[in-house]
Structure 1
Amino acid sequence: MLAETICSAVAAAGLGIAAISAYRRRFLTATRIAAYALVPLGLVMTGAVEWIAGTAFSPVAWAGFGVLGVAWLLFLSTRAVERRRAARGGVGVPAVAPGASAPSGSPRGAIGKPQAGPAAGGDDFSDIEAILKKHGI
């Protein structure tokens, strides 16, 4: 109830300032001030202020924020532990089995071993060289 009264008073004061600006023939400024002044009034009329005030003063809502914070800290701590294990070379589950082959569309035959062929060696930039020669560069 108090939040709604404050928002309504702010809206009334803002509309008064807009009226004074319009009286001074600053219509663009007066319109802008009126638009800002109507925002708190619209929030009161939609019930958003009541919802925000109810959430801000609710112990259950704050407990929920606390639970979310604890969950976030748990996620961060597990990531830190994983990074330490990876940096030390600790025992971890490999992402791919050691003898697994590459996907069918991959230019590599086995994981970590480049396949011999046209993509090996200095032919990586042959397409780029052809385009540059075509344009005389």
Structure 2
Amino acid sequence: MIAETVCSAVSAAGLGIAAVTAFRKRFLTAARIAAYSLVPLGLVMTGIVDWLADTAFSPVAWAGFGVLGLSWVLFMTTRVVERRRGSTRKERKAARAAERSGAVAPSASAPSLGQGSRPASRPTAAPKGDDDFSDIEAILKKHGI
């Protein structure tokens, strides 16, 4: 009974504020305030407020919420553990498969490129006709790079 009275008072106050706002020629804002102020009245008329009031003051309902929270925590904990175990198992399985198949040779990490057609030594100094790169070098030296 008290919850219905409070919700009705809130709706009446909101509609009064909406009327004052509409009087000030702010019709869009007034319509939005009126919409928000009608929500508590609608909740009272549908009976949701009675249900919420009965639930809020029921120790059995609070115990039920506690059990639901505990179940959610357990569910999330098991998912986290499962993900950690699953990723390590997958990594181990992939490593074992790679060792068994011998797909990676121990000497394959270093590229085996011969001298080929490369010149024996590279020129260390830039040609003196390249002024574009000398400007860039000057800028980089100026900034300490």
- Structure 2-normalised TM-score? 0.52
**RMSD between aligned residues:** 2.6
Q: CA offset at residue 84 of structure 1?
A: 5.9
Where structure 2 has 5 or more consecutive residues not aligned to the other structure, the ranges are 90-100, 102-145
Q: Tell me: CA distance 1:66–1:18, structure 2 relative to 1, closer, same or farther (3 Å).
A: same
- Cα shift readout 1:77-123 (whole Å, capped 9, x = no counterpart): 4345545655776xxxxxxxxxxxxxxxxxxxxxxx9xxxxxxxxxx
Instruction: Supply the distance in 1 between the matched residues of 2:73 and 2:31 (Cα, whole angstroms).
Output: 47
Please name the residue that 1:64 is paired with: 64
Where structure 1 has 5 or more consecutive residues not aligned to the other structure, the ranges are 90-112, 114-137
Please name the residue that 2:34 is paired with: 34
Instruction: Supply the distance in 2 between the matched residues of 1:88 and 1:30 (Cα, whole angstroms).
Output: 59
Q: CA offset at residue 38 of structure 1?
A: 0.8
- Whose Rg is larger? 2
Q: Tell me: CA distance 1:65–1:24, structure 2 relative to 1, closer, same or farther (3 Å).
A: same
- Cα shift readout 1:11-56 (whole Å, capped 9, x = no counterpart): 0001111111222222222222111111111111111111111112
Instruction: Supply the distance in 2 between the matched residues of 1:16 and 1:43 (Cα, whole angstroms).
Output: 19
- Structure 1-normalised TM-score? 0.55
Alignment of 1:89-104 (within 5 A): none
Q: Which amino acid aligns with 2:55?
A: T
Q: Between Structure 1 and Structure 2, how many residues are aligned?
A: 91
Identity fraction in percent = 73
| SS of corresponding position for 1:34 | helix
Instruction: Supply the distance in 2 between the matched residues of 1:29 and 1:73 (Cα, whole angstroms).
Output: 42
Instruction: Supply the distance in 2 between the matched residues of 1:63 and 1:86 (Cα, whole angstroms).
Output: 34
Q: Which amino acid aligns with 1:75?
A: F
Instruction: Supply the distance in 1 between the matched residues of 2:40 and 2:79 (Cα, whole angstroms).
Output: 42
Please name the residue that 2:11 is paired with: 11
Q: Which amino acid aligns with 2:67?
A: V
Q: Tell me: CA distance 1:86–1:8, structure 2 relative to 1, closer, same or farther (3 Å).
A: same
Q: Which has the higher helix share?
A: 2
Instruction: Supply the distance in 2 between the matched residues of 1:45 and 1:67 (Cα, whole angstroms).
Output: 31
Instruction: Supply the distance in 2 between the matched residues of 1:69 and 1:85 (Cα, whole angstroms).
Output: 24
